[in-house]
Amino acid sequence: QERLVESGGGSVQAGGSLMLSCSLSKYAFSTYCMGWFRQPPGKGREGVSAIDRAGTTRYADSVKGRFTISKDNAKNTLYLRMNSLKPEDTAIYYCALDVRRAYDCYLRSWSSYDFWGQGTQVTVSS
């Protein structure tokens, strides 16, 4: 059983930046696909970004050029740097782990991911 612990959410004005963090076990961190998903108010969960074992990244079109996913191998921590935030980025953000894939990470299918963090609220005001 993997435990994912998120931090870094908050409230910012449009155009601002936030950094989300997610810590997990060393083995999972170095082995599997990891992703960030979000659930806007009143909407379903959607993929934001994913990173595979080799560090190859994927992004949703809505965040390309503004968000950056990265990982720190020494700290077993996954990050999501969010710049140029927009009100439509307001959502609960979750980190997730797919223990069935190491490469070619899914971004559209959140049900592929097996373990989830508790979620962290991001609110962007106009």
Q: Say yes or no to pLDDT of 29 above 80.
A: no
Q: Say yes or no to pLDDT of 34 above 80.
A: yes
Which of 14-18, 26-30, 76-80 comes out lowest in average pLDDT?
26-30
Instruction: Determine the average pLDDT of the residues in 106-120.
Output: 91
Query: Among candidates 37, 42, 39, 61, which has minimal Cα distance to 112?
Result: 37
Could you tell me which residues come within 8 angstroms of residue 126 by beta carbon, excluding any fewer than 6 positions away?
Answer: 13, 14, 87
Q: Say yes or no to pLDDT of 28 above 80.
A: no
Distance separating alpha carbons of residues 116 and 37, to the nearest angstrom: 10
Place of tokens 């191998």: 73
H/E segment holding residue 118: none
**CA-based max dimension of the chain:** 41
What type of residue sits at position 18? L
Alpha-helix residue ranges (DSSP H) falling in 1-126: 26-31
Q: Cα 102 to the chain's mean position, in Å?
A: 16
When pLDDT is cut at 50, 70 and 90, the band that residue 26 belongs to is confident
